[in-house]
Structure 1
């Protein structure tokens, strides 16, 4: 009775494969793969060879990382936010960290950084030229260029005097560093909400280039952010301080003039000289009151300036030796064998299925 039910089940489901048939089919495929081992080898050899060659010829990368913290009163946000708005970067909902990240990738910061003269491998040059040379950008970015970039190096650091070719090269370097569209750059800046710290990172083929470039970007970013945050307050303080110093100098001059007249005449004054002395003394008293007020205002302005100055403190600076990253030739060989084996197996099994279907 059970055999009849099984027979009826097979009749009702002619396409159903039993476990036994599945095992036999897999065994058949395994035998087919073993029989065509040379095809698998033909797939593996070129793929594995290419991947090993690529691993051997790929430059070693030196990633550098820098971590820092930012502390700033909310009173300083308006000014930096206004500047970001002029760059098209501002937004009412962004905090200090988000603004710092955007500024860190701006052309202004990159420009201020890559045109510093730094000695690397015994050669002093702009960081921009070190980047072009060590990263082999003539071949990587400008191999097919016909405008002059194929052998280009910067000789001028004044962006106001850049030629069209120099501006083009700078734009390419900025994109190479910070990324463009979906293509990531070699430099990045991010922040952690949990630790409230910011991290800058860069990866180049040169250890000193990674360290010097990252530190230079950080110090330029720090100076720019602080100066922009307190720029208006510093301007106000400078005006009040100059006014206070001017009044102080005038007060000293008047006081000195009155004392000189008194000493010269030994307290024997004519009427006109007495009037001059009285006028000088009145001026001294009046200037003393004015100076007291301006000095107090200068102290208040100085206190406001210091209280609004952001505190940017580095936590971890990059230092040699960096952990170099290079692709292992052995791992590349393993990957090549796996990829080649999978592709070859797919080809052999698909060919067998097609042959069986054509023969049926």
Structure 2
């Protein structure tokens, strides 16, 4: 008689034994942890107390937010018909048909550039009715002077000097602060990719610094953006304005010369045509100057249209207003998180200790 157990039956039996052993092992661990419940509860209580102290002592983080709408007009279209007219007299209207320096979301990258952040830090803000540099407020709020107590060259550092007088220490400290603001303070984004609304957020434990820094960086970056976008058109407009003033001056001289020539021979003999030549030459000068002046003025007006068309519209929607939004860990949340964390770590420690002893047996 064949008493050999079939292979599938043996596999099922082994699986049943393994499952039974697992259940027994879990019960053993549970009874072990239950015997240590006092220690686990004590660890949870200590963790809850530490969580409460953390929530109580931790300074809140303030968030200042400014949102604005950026709208840029197309550079082609209606000005195309004027570009040809202007090119006939050798005038470049600047931007007619070009895409400009900035495109799309590049203004967001401007906010993260060192030059803009540095310019903002060197701007003056209003702190409790007192004017002061933002970088000095940052140093004070973060207690950097205490960290520099043993470094004389840093203790004597000053940013209340012209930028071109900065030394190596100034540039070094400025670089560290700029990087810290880029990583931990400043956030620039488009909440909705389909819209032209841009949000600028600054988080800081210093409420006044967060508000002032937000206001200043929005002002600095947006002004720089507009100036750069319209730089070429503005330069062309200034050139055309100088040309118009110059031609107008020549026209005035020509008109005066024609009048003087007529006054020199008020009753010229009709038989002596040579006497009329000076006044006729002056009249020709007046007509030529008038024609040139009219063309320059026309192109000057076209350049003004081009400048207005290339100037982006930046309209602030919401500014940072005191009191700012405050992010602070609640005391109940601190107690719950601290208690859970310490209890969990204690349980893990007991299980690890029991497993280690089993291995050594």
Paired residues of 1:80 and 1:225 also in contact (CA < 8 A): no
Q: TM-score, normalised by structure 2?
A: 0.78
Note the C-alpha offset of 1:151: 6.2
Aligned residue in 1 for 2:153: 148
Mapping of residues 248-263 of structure 1, within 5 Å = 248-256=248-256, 258-259=258-259
1:161 equivalent to 2:165? Answer: yes
Aligned residue in 2 for 1:84: none
Aligned residue in 2 for 1:101: 108
1:177 equivalent to 2:185? Answer: no
2: distance between equivalents of 1:169 and 1:220? 21
Moved more, 236-245 or 346-355: 346-355
Note the C-alpha offset of 1:68: 1.7
Aligned residue in 2 for 1:345: 347
2: distance between equivalents of 1:54 and 1:80? 49
Equivalent residue in structure 2 for 1:120, among 127, 132, 144 = 127
Paired residues of 1:138 and 1:151 also in contact (CA < 8 A): no
Note the C-alpha offset of 1:296: 0.7
SS in 2 for 1:237: helix
Aligned residue in 1 for 2:245: 245
1: distance between equivalents of 2:310 and 2:172? 38
SS in 2 for 1:319: coil
Moved more, 269-278 or 326-335: 269-278
Distance 1:258 1:112, change over 3 A: farther
SS in 1 for 2:324: coil
Note the C-alpha offset of 1:356: 4.8
Distance 1:275 1:66, change over 3 A: same
SS in 2 for 1:218: helix
1:190 equivalent to 2:189? Answer: yes
Q: TM-score, normalised by structure 1?
A: 0.79
Aligned residue in 1 for 2:216: 216
Cα deviation per residue 1:121-168 (whole Å; 9 max; x = unaligned)? 2321111212222233446xx559847335644122x33321111111
Distance 1:358 1:11, change over 3 A: farther
SS in 1 for 2:325: coil
Note the C-alpha offset of 1:277: 4.2
Aligned residue in 2 for 1:335: 337
SS in 2 for 1:80: coil
1:80 equivalent to 2:101? Answer: yes
1: distance between equivalents of 2:214 and 2:186? 8
Mapping of residues 305-320 of structure 1, within 5 Å = 305-320=307-322
1:202 equivalent to 2:202? Answer: yes
1:228 equivalent to 2:215? Answer: no
Report the number of matched residues. Answer: 330
Note the C-alpha offset of 1:279: 4.0
1:131 equivalent to 2:135? Answer: no
Paired residues of 2:33 and 2:347 also in contact (CA < 8 A): yes
Paired residues of 1:10 and 1:16 also in contact (CA < 8 A): no
Note the C-alpha offset of 1:292: 0.4
Note the C-alpha offset of 1:204: 1.4
Equivalent residue in structure 2 for 1:292, among 288, 291, 294 = 294
Q: CA RMSD in A?
A: 3.3
SS in 2 for 1:69: strand
SS in 1 for 2:307: helix
Paired residues of 1:243 and 1:294 also in contact (CA < 8 A): yes
Structure 2 unmatched ranges of 5 or more = 76-94
1:267 equivalent to 2:275? Answer: no
Paired residues of 2:50 and 2:335 also in contact (CA < 8 A): no
Moved more, 292-301 or 53-62: 53-62
Paired residues of 1:187 and 1:202 also in contact (CA < 8 A): yes
